Structure 1
Amino acid sequence: MTGGGRAGARAALVTAAVLGAALVVVIVVRTPWEVLPEPPGGYTDPDPTAGLDPRQIALAEAFATAMRPLSLISITLGLAVSAVLGLTPLGGRLMRAAAAPLRRRWFAQVLLGVPALVVVGRLVTLPVSVYAEVIRHRYGLSTRGWGLWLRDVAVSLAISAALTTLVVLVFLWLVRRAPRSWWAWAGAAVAGLVVIGSFLYPVVIEPAFNEFEPLPAGELRSELLALAEENGTPVQDVLVSNASRRTTTLNAYVSGFGSTRRIVVYDTVLAELPDAEIEAIVAHELGHVVAQDVLTGTLMGALGAGAATALAGWLLSSPRLLRRAGAESAGDPRVVPLLLFLVAVGTLLATPVQNVVSRQIEARADVRALELTGDPETFIGMQRRLAAGNLGDPDPPAAWHWFFGSHPTVAERIAMARDWQRSEGP
């Protein structure tokens, strides 16, 4: 490595450290570590049963027991395939073979090779996904026929391949245009793509999987719009998603910004829940809006992407690592499988950190829902009904919940509602 190359690698490592430190600061400052002051008498100990019927608990535990090994197998298979393709010349050969008809030009290798890599990775885990869908059918959570399931897999795969190809094209173009400082430009570009993606998701990705129509005028629509006004976050519309084509699970959410902000309610929710519990769900989602959780998540994602790209700039300066991948330089398209492997490892390592933050943010949104509705009993009833309808395990293994749990358990959420009730008085 030349002196300029060593200096560039050091600068990339320092930048990664600075952006990583900035990310830590944002996480510490923006995460609501205490969502509810300790009430008189202390916090309530969560009831592991969450007040659910023993038959519901047994069914939820059986479903979780069937699904958890599949999740671990899928993660392991995906990471193993990514390692084989990224840490050996095999992935680079696949890139070149895919572009052979176009004389293996670098952009052709990206346009044809990246989708090939994405497809290979998906095919390896596809049998696990098939069996997981069988289990969801067995427990009554999936209503999809296999034709619709294959369509969803194909659409998801196409979107993933297209977005990955776009990012890699920008990445390699910058590497080839600025060999010494590419990591700085690429970091800024990737961070920008994260921000753009947050704004485009509700208008581009969501309609690829569900159809939406306005909730008919009536008391529920008026109440939901009034909740949004009271929250200080007015919405443009209340939409119903035809989720029942695919699932029996219950959900609602708020998506979009400004003129695209809308409340979305699953049609399964309208069929199964009373209006008061629907309002409690939507109040929780509006809690995310008023706290600007999407913007916070976007900022964290942008900083994380920038830090990861700078770190990649340091790692890809290693001739030894490049040789393992069969690549000559960071601008060689054969480096792409290695890059995707590094992304997979980084994503897995970041998962528990993301979920620690997510659980706190979700708890704060629960508190906001209680403040908006002033009805803890309805909130508790809603949590139990969601747990029963979605087969949520009220008391999952601690290690599993720490790593994979993005929300507090239903037992924790009910205990928090009791604490809020005691804090607020009768």
Structure 2
Amino acid sequence: MSGAGREGARAALLLAAGLGAAVVVVIAVVPPWTLLAEPAGGRSPVEPADVLPPDLLERAESFAAALRPASLVSIVLGLVVSAVLGLTPLGARLVRTVARPFGGGWVAQVLLGTAAVIVVGRLASLPVSAYAEVVRHRYGLSTRGWGLWLRDVAVSTAISAGITALALAGLLWLVRRAPRTWWAWASAVTAGFVVVGSFLYPVVIEPAFNRFEPLPAGELRTRLLDLAEENGTPVQDVLVSDASRRTTALNAYVSGFGSTRRVVLYDTTLEQLPEDAVASIVAHELGHVVHRDVLTGTLVGALGAGSAVALAGWLLSWTPLLRRAGARSPADPAVVPLVLLLLSVGGLLSTPVQNLVSRQVETRADLRALELTGDAGAFVTMQRQLAATNLSDPDPPGAWHWFFGSHPTSAQRIAFAQDWQRLEDAG
């Protein structure tokens, strides 16, 4: 490596470290790490057995035990396929082979090569995904026929492949145009891409999987719109998603920004929850809006993506690593499988940190729901009904929950609501 190359690699590493430090600062400052004072008599005990009756508790634990191995196998398979394609010449051959019928130019290699690598990885894990769908059918959580399941797999894979291919095409274009400083430009572009994607997702991606109809005028619609006004985050509409085409699970969320912001209810939620519980779950989602959790997540994602790209710039300066991947330089389209491997590893390593922050953010949204509705009883009812219908394990293994748990357990959330009520009662 030349002197200029070494300087560029060091600069890329410094940029990665700087952006990574910014992520740490945001994580340390923004999420709430203490939400409630200690109630008189101490915290309410977390009692998984109080969430579900014994028969449902056993069923939820059985469901989780059946799915966890599939989740782990899927992750391992994905990493193995990525490693085989990214760290051997096989990936480079695949990239060049799929582009050959279309002239073999670098654009065709990047676009078709990226799609091919993603499709190969998806096909490798498809049997495991099918097994997981069988489990969901067996426990009554999935209502999809196999035709719709295959359609969902195909659409999600196509969207992922298309977006990733365009992003990598832009990345390699920058490498070709600015071989010494591409990582700096790419970090900025990637961060911007995350921000734009966060705004476009509700209006572009969501309609590819579900149909949405306005909730008819009535007491519940008025109540939810009033909650949004009281929260200081008015919404444009309350929509109902046809989630029952795919699942029996219950959910609601607030989607969009500004003029596109709307409350979305699963039709299953409307069918199975009383209005007080629906209001509680929507109040929770409005808590995310008032605390700007999506914007904070977008900021963290943008900084993290920029840091990852800069780190990739440092790693791709290693000639032995490029040779192992069958690539001549960072501008060679044969580097695509290696870049996808680095993305996979980075995403997996960041998962426990993301989920640690997510659990705190979800608890703050729970607090906002309790404050907005003033009804801990409805909140507890909602949590129990969600756990029963979604077969959520109220007591997962500690290591599993630390790594993969994006929300507090239902038992933890109920205990939190009980603490809040005790503090309210004490004035």
Q: TM-score, normalised by structure 1?
A: 0.99
> Which residue in the other structure is 2:227 paired with?
227
> Which residue in the other structure is 1:104 paired with?
104
The 5 Å alignment of 1:13-412 reads 13-412=13-412
One-letter amino acid matched to 1:109: Q
CA distance in 2, matches of 1:282, 1:103: 53
CA distance in 2, matches of 1:232, 1:149: 39
> Which residue in the other structure is 1:10 paired with?
10
CA distance in 1, matches of 2:412, 2:111: 47
8 Å CA contact 1:16, 1:308 repeated in 2: yes
CA distance in 2, matches of 1:159, 1:229: 35
8 Å CA contact 1:50, 1:394 repeated in 2: no
1:29 deviates by 0.5
Alignment RMSD, CA only? 0.7
CA distance in 1, matches of 2:36, 2:257: 28
CA distance in 1, matches of 2:190, 2:52: 45
CA distance in 2, matches of 1:128, 1:35: 40
1:50 deviates by 3.2
CA distance in 1, matches of 2:154, 2:366: 35
CA distance in 2, matches of 1:202, 1:209: 11
One-letter amino acid matched to 1:383: Q
CA distance in 2, matches of 1:360, 1:198: 21
Q: Structure 2 stretches of 5 or more lacking a match?
A: none
Secondary structure of residue in 2 paired with 1:43:
coil
CA distance in 1, matches of 2:140, 2:287: 31
Number of residue equivalences: 426
CA distance in 2, matches of 1:238, 1:65: 36
8 Å CA contact 2:95, 2:333 repeated in 1: yes
One-letter amino acid matched to 2:101: P
Secondary structure of residue in 1 paired with 2:265:
strand
8 Å CA contact 2:46, 2:412 repeated in 1: yes
8 Å CA contact 1:212, 1:242 repeated in 2: yes
8 Å CA contact 1:35, 1:360 repeated in 2: no
The share of aligned pairs that are identical, in percent, is 71
CA distance in 1, matches of 2:68, 2:245: 25
Secondary structure of residue in 2 paired with 1:99:
helix
1:105 deviates by 1.0
Q: Is 311-320 or 98-107 further displaced after alignment?
A: 98-107
One-letter amino acid matched to 2:424: E
Secondary structure of residue in 1 paired with 2:238:
strand
Secondary structure of residue in 2 paired with 1:253:
strand
8 Å CA contact 2:221, 2:238 repeated in 1: yes
CA distance in 1, matches of 2:99, 2:344: 24
1:103 deviates by 3.0
1:423 aligns with 2:423: yes
Secondary structure of residue in 1 paired with 2:216:
coil
8 Å CA contact 1:50, 1:414 repeated in 2: no
1:2 deviates by 0.7
8 Å CA contact 1:326, 1:335 repeated in 2: yes
One-letter amino acid matched to 2:379: F
1:425 deviates by 1.0
1:102 deviates by 2.7
Deviations along 1:394-422, one digit per CA (max 9) or x if unpaired, are 11100000000000000000000000001
8 Å CA contact 2:51, 2:387 repeated in 1: no
Q: Structure 1 stretches of 5 or more lacking a match?
A: none
CA distance in 2, matches of 1:51, 1:30: 31
CA distance in 2, matches of 1:35, 1:330: 47
Secondary structure of residue in 1 paired with 2:133:
helix
CA distance in 1, matches of 2:311, 2:378: 48
CA distance in 1, matches of 2:53, 2:425: 29
CA distance in 1, matches of 2:51, 2:25: 39
8 Å CA contact 2:202, 2:255 repeated in 1: yes
Deviations along 1:171-216, one digit per CA (max 9) or x if unpaired, are 0000000000000000011101100000000000000000000000
CA distance in 2, matches of 1:42, 1:190: 46
Deviations along 1:249-306, one digit per CA (max 9) or x if unpaired, are 0000001000000000000011101100000000000000000000000000000001
Taking structure 1 as reference, are residues 146 and 184 closer, same or farther at Cα in structure 2, changes over 3 Å only?
Answer: same
One-letter amino acid matched to 1:33: W
CA distance in 1, matches of 2:188, 2:92: 26
CA distance in 2, matches of 1:320, 1:51: 54
1:12 deviates by 0.3
Secondary structure of residue in 1 paired with 2:180:
coil
Deviations along 1:229-263, one digit per CA (max 9) or x if unpaired, are 00000000000000000000000000100000000
Moved over 4 A (4+): none
8 Å CA contact 1:50, 1:410 repeated in 2: no
